Structure 1
Amino acid sequence: MTSFEAAEKQYLNIATEIKSTKSEETYPWLGAVPKMREWKDERTPQGLLEHNFTVPNRDFEASIAVDRNAIEDEQYGQIEIRTKELSVEAVRFFDELVYTLIPEGVNTTGSAGSLFDGKTVSCYDGKAFFATNHSEGNSGTHSNKGSTALSVSALQSAITVMRKFKTDQGKPAGVRPNIIVVPPDLEWTAKKLINSPADPSEGTTTAFNAVNTIYKGLTVVVNDYLTDTNNWYLFDTRSVVKPIILQLRKAPMFSQLTDGTESEFMRKKLYFGVDWRGAAAFGDWRRGYASIVT
């Protein structure tokens, strides 16, 4: 098993890997099928609402340069270990790419200094992934963005909101959030809220008399790339395509320039690197909810 295969891939909690074969991929995002109706005379075929959503692939790399003498004189294998860690870096980068996309969900263009700086990060409907005015066909207007601090009541309200999401045909979308994603600052709050059999919001005097209605109802995912200390997110990851798409044009490739190369001959430098081609993008907005706490 390679270092890449063995590394923990936390991004798979909320992202679906989709293989790409071109410089960009266009996803024909189809609406829901029509409702069943009583068949009285002839069938009544209806078209599907369609959004064309294009995700261009991008190039990413990580490289190191090592002096030839350092390798020749090195006794403890530390340089070799560092070069092998480049494979693990590819998995770490996938985590960073996916989880730093989440806070960009309040924007349509990536924020300055981020991995998505100046890039389009909007949802397939042209709005921010987390927005207060999503609407398609007969869905009505829905908001998957709140502003309440993390608590039992806030989670209950958010779950109820998500379960009321409708398709473009006006049918319930069948959303059932199963993951809460939080920054390290909210780790213990989230775990207490989810893993306490008694309602943690009731206080010490009445807690044992109140049932925690969200007990074990969500999986807590804590990710270090979420830097805001108060924001939290709910996702439904049980659909065929998860809330985030990780588009794979080329698998991470490890390469090196070592003995016999011009750089080694002229500068005594050996180079090691890993590169990858692909992209990350948002999927169906109904599968996510953000509470942006100000």
Structure 2
Amino acid sequence: MPSPIDINNVVIESKTAFAGRFDQGMGSAKPDYPLVATVLPSSAGATGYGWLGDFPRLKEWIGDRQLKELKKHGYNIVNKMFESSVKIPRVDYEDNDYGRYGIIFEEMGHDSKIFPDEYVFGLLKDGFTELCYDGQPFFDADHPSEDGVNTFSNVIGDPATDTGPGWYMLDTSRPLKPLVWQERLAPEFQSVTEPGDFNVFTTDDYYFGTRARGNAGFTFWQMAFASKAALTEANFELMITKMMEQKNSEGKSLKIKPTLLVIPVSLRAAAEKIVLRKTLDNGEDNTNYKAVDILVSQDL
């Protein structure tokens, strides 16, 4: 007669193994959000960004009036909760059939590492309506100037009437990027396996999962331009020119450097035609060849 299985010891050993597979998945994942967003820590349910007013050279960018408003009212990003869970029936342990769940936890680890992509690029896509620190949509034709009389635009075309997919040009050369990923709690592996736990007792299942807290937000609109007009060579060049020509009220350059073209999958061919061809159809050199890097996001 076979010896009875010590379920409790098996569950403890499996927790270690599953946590290892979770870590493997985390380690193999390559998220895109760090390319466009600076990761910043958060220690509360919501974090204010009035400290953006202390950003070097910011006074030269937005002037005293907006600087005072930014420091006074701030810009809050409220953390969101994210979770994913799996339950394993006790009978799978009794039948020594729990090993097949390993790949699930590896996939869970992979997804936990890349889940901010959905929120960062989703916010970028919604930038035509979501507000930034000056109270205007992040991508807008009417960002107020220091004197409150003039306005500045970081859009090409008219998003209200243009119907194409959005495409975005970012300056990611600085430590502070155009977006932030606010991390309150990094993804962590958790389990509920104690025999005396009410859920374990009543359902005859063991519970494993992950949870995290965080959210995406904007920094400075000056570092990001967008358009829903056609992605053509002319519009590409116009966007780069407009970004680089930005000046403050005193006529000083903001020294913005476009480095990254962010596009949805549907614009991949158009972007590569503009940026990755060495030679144009007429045989001349392509002056836009590798002018910027291209990032194709499946979350746009």
Q: Given the two structures, how large is their TM-score scaled by the length of structure 1?
A: 0.60
1:16 aligns with 2:38: yes
Partner of 1:215: 289
Matches within 5 A, 1:95-244: 95-108=117-130, 122-137=131-146, 140-147=150-157, 148-167=229-248, 170-199=251-280, 203=281, 206=282, 208=283, 210-226=284-300
Deviation at 1:212, TM superposition (A): 1.4
Q: Distance in 2 between matches of 1:10 and 1:179?
A: 12
Count of aligned pairs between the two proteins? 196
Sort the Cα spacing of 1:191 and 1:34 in 2 relative to 1 into closer, same or farther, 3 A: closer
Q: Distance in 2 between matches of 1:131 and 1:32?
A: 19
Q: Is 1:105–1:130's contact at 8 Å kept on the other side of the alignment?
A: yes
Over the aligned positions, Cα root-mean-square deviation in angstroms equals: 2.5
- Residue segments in structure 1 that go unaligned for 5+ positions in a row: 36-45, 109-121, 227-294
Sort the Cα spacing of 1:167 and 1:65 in 2 relative to 1 into closer, same or farther, 3 A: farther
Partner of 1:88: 110
- Residue segments in structure 2 that go unaligned for 5+ positions in a row: 1-22, 158-228
Q: Is 2:59–2:67's contact at 8 Å kept on the other side of the alignment?
A: no
Q: Is 1:165–1:173's contact at 8 Å kept on the other side of the alignment?
A: yes
The one-letter code sitting in structure 2 at the alignment partner of 1:92 is I
Q: Distance in 2 between matches of 1:129 and 1:19?
A: 22
Q: Distance in 1 between matches of 2:143 and 2:251?
A: 13
Q: Distance in 1 between matches of 2:86 and 2:98?
A: 18
SS in 1 for 2:144: coil
Q: Distance in 1 between matches of 2:127 and 2:66?
A: 26
Given the alignment, which residue of 28, 49, 53 partners 2:67? 49
Sort the Cα spacing of 1:23 and 1:213 in 2 relative to 1 into closer, same or farther, 3 A: same
Deviation at 1:75, TM superposition (A): 4.9
Q: Is 1:138–1:167's contact at 8 Å kept on the other side of the alignment?
A: no
Residue-by-residue CA offset, 1:238-276 (whole Å, 9 max, x unaligned): xxxxxxxxxxxxxxxxxxxxxxxxxxxxxxxxxxxxxxx
Residue-by-residue CA offset, 1:11-52 (whole Å, 9 max, x unaligned): 1110000011122211123273459xxxxxxxxxx8882312
Deviation at 1:162, TM superposition (A): 1.0
Sort the Cα spacing of 1:76 and 1:179 in 2 relative to 1 into closer, same or farther, 3 A: same
Deviation at 1:223, TM superposition (A): 1.0
Q: Given the two structures, how large is their TM-score scaled by the length of structure 2?
A: 0.59
Q: Is 2:156–2:235's contact at 8 Å kept on the other side of the alignment?
A: no
Larger radius of gyration: 2
Q: Distance in 2 between matches of 1:9 and 1:144?
A: 27
Q: Distance in 2 between matches of 1:54 and 1:81?
A: 38
